[in-house]
Structure 1
Amino acid sequence: MAIREILEVPDPRLKVVSEPVTVFDDELKTLVEDMFETMYDAPGIGLAAIQVGVPKRVLVIDLQPEDPDAEPEVCNHGGHEHTHQPLKKEPRVFVNPVIVDPAEELATYQEGCLSVPEIFADVDRPATCTVRYQDLDGKEHEEQMEGLMATCIQHEMDHLEGILFIDHLSRLKRQMALKKLEKLRKAA
């Protein structure tokens, strides 16, 4: 397993439309393992293969909810001690995902993206959707998604079409987001 470099705007590869996966082999499994390791390291909750430079229709998602069954962890940041619930890993893999039947009702979530670091904006998307996808063995599944999972899978599936979440913003908001990103990079 390896942590791969995450492409960031304005890398032109992020605008590439990804190709369907036709071979379900060890290379695909390695890609997915690397994607999870990269996503957890970033840290993020979703990653599309194109974000690590591989134009294949593969997504990994882990919403990492707090684990109510785990013992709270004590952390010490800069002399401030606090406890928090550990996150539960619930890794999900979606190969060749397709949205069938998106809801007409919209939900607004503040989205961010590992390819557009430090930038967050409200995006409206269908509140629920049914997703047809394959697993790592090529087996087909169909699942109803709602809430954060529905938003996350739609966000990640946009990457497969070369679309970033900032492309959903008005021209002005998108320009402001990109300017802010430029300033953050200069400061770093």
Structure 2
Amino acid sequence: MILPIVAYGNPILRKVAEEIDPDYPGLEQLIADMWETMYASNGVGLAAPQVNKSIRLFVVDSQQVFESMEPDDEDRDKYPDAPGIKKVFINAYIKELGGTPWSYSEGCLSIPKIREDVQRPETVTLEYEDESFELHTETFTGLSARIILHEYDHIEGKLFIDHLPPLRRKLLQSKLKDIASGKVKVHYKMML
């Protein structure tokens, strides 16, 4: 089932999400609904707070980024994580950040029609549980690391705009206000 995406301004996007255990009610269906919602919204990642659940859960599919690149696309060789990942992350915590910070234009389903260059570390080592609650410690790089860090921010109550310089954030205030008041129209269902 496609779930509505929580829009900027909703307080759930600013809460630090809670850990869950295997007994969390309806978890398997929630994960399936998050995948369906993410794909229907043309996203590459989706965190549970974005579907109004304040829990430490997010999904990432960076494979589709690489699949959508043309074979002769010069960016294809720029990212060391090709062909990407498709994973569920539960109760994730960052263990280490590394590499040279780099800039990339990010957007967010909860903050539609705004894209900004965001600096993020090149690699992230994450401790997380998969959908079977098996514990993993894994290092991610490139676009996969960036998407993970973006989604991880959501479970920590942060948004990509928090990484922008104060003046840039100030310049976005009227657009953000329009999103929070429901004036921005998108092709997917949003929830204020």
Instruction: Give the TM interval when normalised to the shorter protein.
Output: 0.7 to 0.9
Using the aligned pairs only, state the percent identity: 41
Q: 2:166 aligns to what?
A: 171
**Residue in 1 that maps onto 2:190:** none
Partner of 2:18: 19
**Cα displacement (A) at 1:24:** 4.8
The TM-score normalised by the length of structure 1 is: 0.81
Q: In the aligned structure 1, how far is the partner of 2:119 from the partner of 2:39?
A: 26
Q: 1:99 aligns with which of 85, 94, 99?
A: 94
Structure 1: state its 5+ residue gaps. Answer: 69-87
Which of 154, 160, 168 is the matching residue for 2:149? 154
Larger Rg: 1
5+ long unaligned stretches in structure 2: 70-82, 186-192
| 1:39–1:47 CA contact under 8 A, matched in 2 | yes
In 2, Cα distance between equivalents of 1:8 and 1:150: 24
Q: CA RMSD in A?
A: 2.2
Q: Which has the higher contact order (CA 8 A, sep 6+)?
A: 2
- The corresponding residue for 1:118 is 113
Q: Tell me which amino acid in the other structure corresponds to 1:97.
A: A
The answer to whether the 8 A contact 2:46-2:60 is kept is: yes
Superposition deviation, residue 107 in structure 1? 1.5
What does the per-residue CA deviation read over 1:116-168, in whole Å, with 9 as the maximum and x for residues that have no partner?
A: 00101111111111111101111011211110111110110010111000011
Alignment deviations for residues 26-49 of structure 1 (CA, whole Å, 9 cap, x no partner): 711111101010000011000000
2:78 matched residue in structure 1: none
- Equivalent in the alignment of 2:47: 48
Cα distance in 2, alignment partners of residues 24 and 158 from structure 1: 25
Taking structure 2 as the reference length, what is the TM-score of the superposition? 0.80
Cα distance, 1:178 vs. partner? 3.4
The equivalent of 2:131 in structure 1 is 136
